[in-house]
Structure 1
């Protein structure tokens, strides 16, 4: 920044700060920070402007800028807060410098603009790059976590496992479901897999196609699939779309599906509650011991 303009800005920093704070306060609704308390908003604004002035006094003070950016990200503030704040600061600073001169020619005005830009633009670049880099990292970690939880296979009893599906199923997720399903069937030595779509909001042609493919793949490795969680609206959609699930056993609930899986594995649920006579015999035998 031009030494002359730098001197003007530093000497009148308090005035410029107050002008900036006043204008930024009007942007609270526009830059999605309306839910933030007034005290926190004001304190953060003052910290923000302090970081800006630190950078003009010390051109190598990038660490302070990065630290502030990390704090804003951790608090979940929008990127627009940073960009709007710096644009307002640029405008306020230019207007103040120009107001200090009674008359300025075109060259002088251009010099002021370019001088302020050389000061503000590096700050914008550092803050935005730091902000976007951190968010990309967060999104990447969240994507990995979602992928790990997107298609869990849960062994219930020997030979029977359940795969509960929640949320929208797209092509990428369908691929993960297929991989997890096949690997899980082998790992758990499953005979029957219950695919529970109770939490899937929409079952269209594409989703049904992926589910049928998954069931066919499971059949090829010696196991069977039962589709459970067929809600009335899902059943109606499947019929309207003409989707053929003839070779894919379906049940309306997980309970019914589990009972069917027991039958497929030659098992059944029986009442083992002892009768009164048996209870008496059991008590006598315990007394004898």
Structure 2
């Protein structure tokens, strides 16, 4: 693209932005609307448009800006489909405005796209993909650290709270940490708390059964707690058999059973009597 056309794009930026923004307002996806306020959407789109225009004059200098914008739209939850859409719509609006003002010929669209829009689109999408991959990996690590630890609560009784979706990779990590924790803490009873697991399907149930069986093989007992009504209904509908394992709707009920298995129970204490007897 020649410099004259680039200058024309910059000089007509306000009109281009307003017309482009109007198109996006009609087509932005529900996820984008839910995650971002109108003010944030406006600021992000203005930064996005500014990046597109400035790239006409110095592509190499704008590499850092491309990465920053890509990181921002990933953080805000823009889908790759939406990103591609706004780039293509920006190109269409630029072309229409310049043609209407007779600043370019109607046959110049190919040059406009091949020398400017296409390279910028590839750069933005590549940086988006890199940012998305980094974000997903960080979230995966954080989730693994959060939800795969065996916590000793009292002597011989430990709890493993599970949070988020359980896939095959996480199930393997959970099983390894579970067995290591049982041996390390000498747990006689382990409570697997699935309160934070949003969905229990056949695969998740299979992983839970494997974990409970493994605990039993090394001489301990396992209680699956956090069985919510909707999960119980799903388990029954799928025909999953958990009858060999003790289950409970809440962690409290599970703890009561764990105490019973370890020959203990919760006893109420009169605070005044306890204080007087120790004075």
Q: Which of the residues 127, 133, 136 maps onto 1:136?
A: 133
* TM-score normalised over the length of structure 1: 0.74
Moved more, 137-146 or 197-206: 197-206
Match of residue 263 from structure 1: 260
> Which is greater in Rg?
1
Q: Tell me what 2:243 maps to.
A: 245
Bigger shift: residues 215-224 or 131-140: 215-224
1:120-131 mapped onto 2 (5 Å cutoff)? 120-131=117-128
Work out whether residues 70 and 131 of structure 2, in 8 Å CA contact, stay in contact via their aligned partners in 1.
no
For the structure 1 residues 112 and 159, does the alpha-carbon distance in structure 2 shift closer, same or farther, using more than 3 Å as the test?
closer
Deviations, residues 54-103 of structure 1 (Å, cap 9, x unaligned): 22223433334334444444555555564334323423444455567799
3-state DSSP of counterpart to 2:24 = coil
CA distance in 2, matches of 1:230, 1:12: 60
Query: What are the residue-to-residue correspondences of 1:1-289 with 2, within 5 Å?
Result: 1=1, 3=2, 6-11=3-8, 13-15=10-12, 17-32=14-29, 34=33, 41-63=41-63, 64-79=65-80, 82-95=83-96, 109=107, 113-200=110-197, 203=200, 205-230=202-227, 241=239, 243=241, 245-246=243-244, 248-273=245-270, 282=277, 286=279
d(CA) in 1 for partners of 2:112 and 2:202? Answer: 60
Query: Does structure 2 conserve the Cα–Cα contact (< 8 Å) formed by 1:97 and 1:112?
Result: no
Higher alpha-carbon deviation: 140-149 or 212-221: 212-221
Worse-matched range after superposition: 78-87 or 222-231: 78-87
Q: Which one is further off, 47-56 or 267-276?
A: 267-276
**C-alpha RMSD of matched pairs (Å):** 3.8
User: Structure 2: how far apart are the matches of 1:233 and 1:81?
Assistant: 34
Alignment partners' CA distance in 2, 1:100 and 1:275: 89
- Cα contact 1:163–1:196 (8 A) shared by 2: yes
Moved over 6 A (4+): 100-104
Structure 1: where are the runs of 5+ without partners? none
Figure out how many residues of one structure are paired with residues of the other and give that number: 274
Structure 1 pair 90–179 and aligned structure 2 pair: CA distance change class (3 A): same
List per-residue Cα deviations over 1:117-137 (Å, max 9, x = no partner): 212222112122112211221
| CA distances 1:250-282 after superposition (whole Å, capped 9, x unpaired) | 445433332332233233344554896x876x4
